[in-house]
Structure 1
Amino acid sequence: MRKLNFGYTLLLLLTLSCSAEKINLSPVGISSGQNNVYSYSERKNIIVYSSEITNLLTSFPKFRNDSVNAEITKLKYHIKDYIGAMEAYNVNGLNIAQRNFEKSYKKLQNLRKFLNEDEDQILNRYLVRIKTNMTFLESNISKDSTSTSLK
């Protein structure tokens, strides 16, 4: 009886393990069947600059001022929205996220005066690097992709 149960269990596991296919969740695999809006070099640059931005966001330090930390959280959220809209070819979401990013960035520039000199320099360094990479991202978006409505 035990041999029979073991045999059925082994047969069941073998059929289930052989019938399951590996699912490809890669963004490259998903977008390969679609009409790509970005060229290869644009896509490569977008990946480089967006990964630099996300690395900066993950290593962002905490400051003593709570309002600065709250605004940094908002800035991170708007940047993630911007990158997500860019990858999804969402022109409206891209414009909204960019406006929100700029508002948050300006508010952080105003809040810098409430930080001590060391924290101000650290925040300025991060903001400059983020703004530079955001500018590079914007320059890699093809202008014809922003003038058409994407699905």
Structure 2
Amino acid sequence: MKRLFFLGVLLIITSCATEKLNFSPLTNNFYSESKGSNADKSLKKGIEINIKENVNASEISNLISTFPKFKDPALNDEVSSLKYSLQNYLYAIDANNAGGKNRAVKDFERSYKKIQRLRKNLNKDDDEVLNRYLVRLKTNITIIEDVIKGS
């Protein structure tokens, strides 16, 4: 009788040990996103990103809205052009428009290079602020592009 009881307790302990509970709210979300069904994967041929729920896209939007003004009017004009191309980029991704996205990326790169040339005239503090914004923008775009290419 003791042997049967011991085997029953051992069976319950081992079965409970293999099914460890996970109370993390993120685990199920990541698992379901990474393990989508094959039917879902065959339907997703275009740009596969939900721009309204993407953290990087929302950070780009926040950076656009909080971008500082500088004393150099030529730099401010180029920053406006950069912001416009970023808005077009986000709209193109949201509309699943690959051609528009590629044009917006080229416009962004063009404005980025012009800003890099114009920033030589800034004082050190303004240059650091501008650099922080540009690095964060470029990082977020790179992450979004990697997600799009990976899908």
Q: TM-score w.r.t. structure 2 length?
A: 0.65
Q: Distance in 1 between matches of 2:51 and 2:84?
A: 23
Deviations 1:8-62 (A, max 9, x none): xxxxxxxxxxxxxxxxxxxxxxxxxxx65566xx537962111001101111111
Corresponding residue for 1:62?
Answer: 69
Change (3 A) 1:44 1:88: closer
Deviation at 1:96, TM superposition (A): 0.6
1:113 and 2:120 matched: yes
In structure 1, stretches of 5+ residues that fail to align are: 1-34, 145-151
Contact 1:46 1:137 in 2 (8 A): no
How many residue pairs were aligned? 108
TM-score w.r.t. structure 1 length?
A: 0.65
Structure with max Cα Rg? 2
Within 5 A, what are the aligned runs for 1:81-100?
81-100=88-107
Q: Which runs of 5+ in 2 are unaligned?
A: 1-42
Contact preservation (8 Å) 1:56, 1:126 = yes
1:123: which partner in 2? 130
SS at match of 2:55: helix
1:50 aligns with 2:57: yes
Report percent identity of matched pairs: 45
Map of 1:72 onto structure 2: 79
8 A contact 1:45–1:137 mirrored in 2: no
Match of 1:135 in 2: 142
Q: State whether residues 46 and 140 of structure 1, in contact with CA within 8 Å, keep that contact through their aligned partners in structure 2.
A: no
